[in-house]
Structure formats: structure tokens, C-alpha cells
Amino acid sequence: MNNTLVICGHGMVAQRLLERLCAQPKPAFSRIVVLSGEPAPAYNRIQLSSLLAGDAKEDSLTLKPDDWFQRHGIERRHGDPVARIDRENREVITASGHREAYGKLVIATGSRSARLGLPGEDLNGVVGFRDLRDTRTLIELSQKYRRAVVIGGGFLGLEAAEGLRCRGMSVTVLHRSSHLLNRQLDRVGGSLLEQALQERGLNVRTGTSPLSLLGKQQLRAVQLADETLISTDLVVVAAGITPNAELGRDAGLDCDRGIQVNGQMQTSDPDIYALGECCQLGKETFGLVEPGYEQADVLARVLSEKDSNACFEPSVLATRLKISGIPIFSSGQTEADDRTESVVWQDYETNRYCRLMIRDQRLTGAVLFGETSDGPWYHERIRHADDITQYRANLAFGKDYCNAAA
């Protein structure tokens, strides 16, 4: 029986899986082959924001040097994406026609910038923000042009906007929702962020959507739903992500938005697994690296241990914005509902804000702006559903006051 593990995609989560497999006491496979669509081996995608802003160099994004792969006998094939999975013959076929037979197959193809479905989306000057190639393009265009519009005021859009601003561009952010980072922040947090970004020189328009992107071949302007025209030479599309699930879908695996998996990351074919941003567990897809890492840890055990009981369970995630000088932390619930009480603390002078959401004497959400050092402590209380009765009166003042009161 073929004991080769083939991995489609070499991003951050596939790399974590490789590292966990190599750390197992006994090798589970006689061969491991990684097939990547990108020309470079896995790199720190999260740091693309810093690269764009000029705060990091490309070299510093490398996750493992070449000799690490050689030492562990991992074969790599880059710049040749997998085009098809032939389940009957248990092999994958790449765009160049290369065939690779598998015993077990892992799909870790991540996701891509969601398309907007707008007229003009294919014009020159419309770019996503997903990989090294996009980032190089953005850096190049920032040297050529002065004006940019970023569509999407989530964390990716804001990091793109700030990066381009740092490179000297005049940037406008368009965001459909009524406040920025609406998935991570409440209204007050979102408007404090908007104010801080505007003070830095970013233009922000919330509650608005583009209607079309105008130009002949080259983008010239963005038309908004209210007929406003914004002249621009560059549009960055950062309005959500779409899982790269096509390989699984075309091969007949159960798919919804992503490739459906169970808690052991197994797809509807028992010899094929999926993890990271291309997979879906129940109704949930994933857009942060942490759950992908947890999935990789589980899958390494599933693939290495006989009858493993390892199982991935999604948990509450914390997010931080990586824009320097604007500390933001959020975890769990962000807006109160009729079963939730809120504790709010705001210092207008220093621009600090803290909103904590409580249900049945348990912390269910935290939104922090300006001062975030206690963020991880709040996050732990949320994750463990700790009873806060003893220190509730001190909750907004942070860990030290709560510990003293407990």
C-alpha cells in the first residue's frame, strides 16, 4: 500500500502540520510531498502587512530554511498548483501535468480575496491583498501612483490602507457597515478607531459601498451607491475571503463554502483531509491562523497515532489589530443583546475605552481600545467561563484589581 502523504498547498497551516509530523516519535509516512501553487515555500503571511508598511523585509517572512526540508526528507514542488484530484486512481495532477500518487491526501489551499461582483473588477489597478505577489504589486504601484481606495474596513483592509499610507499614498477606506472592524468592535470602539485613523491622515467612509469601478483598461475612479465619484489609480479589494475549496468540490467531496470536515479534519473521503482556511466544520469557516494551527496539531496526531481520539473543537478567538500605535483587542461577543449586561469604562482624555459583556455572572466579550495589556487575561476568563461575582466591581480596572479582590 502507498504510504505517501501528499499535501496540496504550502501555507502557514500546512507548514505547522509538517512541523508537528516531524516532531512525532515515529515517522508515519515513508514519503511526504508538498505541492504549492506559490513559487516560494511557506512564509509568514501575517507579516505581509508589515512588509507593505515597510516595517519588515521579505527575508524575515521565511518560516523554515531550505535545509530544514532536506533534513526531514520533505519533497517540495513549488509554483505548480494542483489542478485535479483523481480519487479513483488516488493521485493528484498539477497544472503542468505532473502526477503524484497518494496514500493519504491533505488539502490546505487556504482562501483568496472575495470578489465583489462589480463592473470594472478586472481593470488594471484592482488588486487583492493575499500573498507575496499581491504585496509586491501593491508596493510597486504605491511608487507609481498617489491615490488608493481600499474596499473593506475589516482588519485586512485597514492594514492594507495603513501600509499604503505609510508608503506616501492618499488612501480612502470604504466600509459597508456603520462602523469599522464591525466583527471585532462595538460602535464606540469602531468610531474611536475611525477617529484615530483619520488623525493619521486616512479618509474613512462607513455605511457606503462601491457601485462600480470605472476606467477603460486602467482603473480611474470608484463610483459609490450615492453617485459620488472618487478618483483613484489603485483599488485594494479586502472585503472578505472565499475558501479555495474547488479541488475538493471538483473531486466530489462534500462542500459548502469550504470543504466539509469532521473534528478529525477528515473529509467525506476517509483518505482525504482538509484544514485551515479552505475547510468548514459544521457551519463554521476560519479566517485566522490560530484555529488552523490547532487543526494542524490535531491532524498530525490523527495521521500518526493508531485510533487517535484527537479532535478539533473551535474556541473563542481573540483578535488584535497590527497597526502600530493603535492598540485594539477584542474577544468573544462584541455587541450586547437582551441577555447581556455591559460594563463600560471610558477615559476621554487619554482615549481609552473598555467594554465588557457579562451574562449570568460570566464574561462573554471584551472590547478594548487604547490600553490592551489585560486583553489576554479577559480572554482567558471568557474561554473558561469563570464566575466573576467576587471581582465584578473591579472588572473594568483589569487583572491586578480583580486578583486583589478575589
Ligand X SMILES: Cc1cc2nc3c(=O)[nH]c(=O)nc-3n(C[C@H](O)[C@H](O)[C@H](O)COP(=O)(O)OP(=O)(O)OC[C@H]3O[C@@H](n4cnc5c(N)ncnc54)[C@H](O)[C@@H]3O)c2cc1C
Residues that bind ligand X (CB under 6 A): 8-14, 35-38, 45-46, 48-49, 81-82, 108-110, 129-130, 156, 244, 247, 276-277, 287-290, 292, 322
304 in Cβ contact with 19 (< 8 Å): no
Least spacing, CB of residue 264 vs ligand X, in Å: 17
Judged by CB, which is closer to ligand X: 262, or 361? 262
Least spacing, CB of residue 91 vs ligand X, in Å: 14
Residues 6+ away with beta carbon under 8 Å from 181: 153, 154, 155, 158, 189, 190, 193, 321, 328, 330
Judged by CB, which is closer to ligand X: 328, or 388? 328
Least spacing, CB of residue 46 vs ligand X, in Å: 4
Judged by CB, which is closer to ligand X: 14, or 235? 14
Residue nearest to ligand X (CB): 11
Judged by CB, which is closer to ligand X: 51, or 402? 51
Quote the CA–CA distance of 128 and 107 in Å, as a whole number: 23
Judged by CB, which is closer to ligand X: 92, or 213? 92
Judged by CB, which is closer to ligand X: 16, or 395? 16
Least spacing, CB of residue 149 vs ligand X, in Å: 17
Least spacing, CB of residue 276 vs ligand X, in Å: 2
Least spacing, CB of residue 227 vs ligand X, in Å: 32
Q: Burial level of 158, CB count in 10 A (0-12/13-18/19+)? A: buried
Quote the CA–CA distance of 180 and 159 in Å, as a whole number: 12
Least spacing, CB of residue 26 vs ligand X, in Å: 25
Judged by CB, which is closer to ligand X: 133, or 339? 133
Start-to-end CA span in the chain (Å): 59
Q: Compute the CA torsion angle 210, 173, 117, 280 (nearest 10 deg).
A: -140
Judged by CB, which is closer to ligand X: 51, or 358? 51
Residue type (1 letter), 48:
L
Judged by CB, which is closer to ligand X: 37, or 215? 37
Least spacing, CB of residue 152 vs ligand X, in Å: 12
Least spacing, CB of residue 29 vs ligand X, in Å: 19
Judged by CB, which is closer to ligand X: 59, or 337? 59
Least spacing, CB of residue 136 vs ligand X, in Å: 13
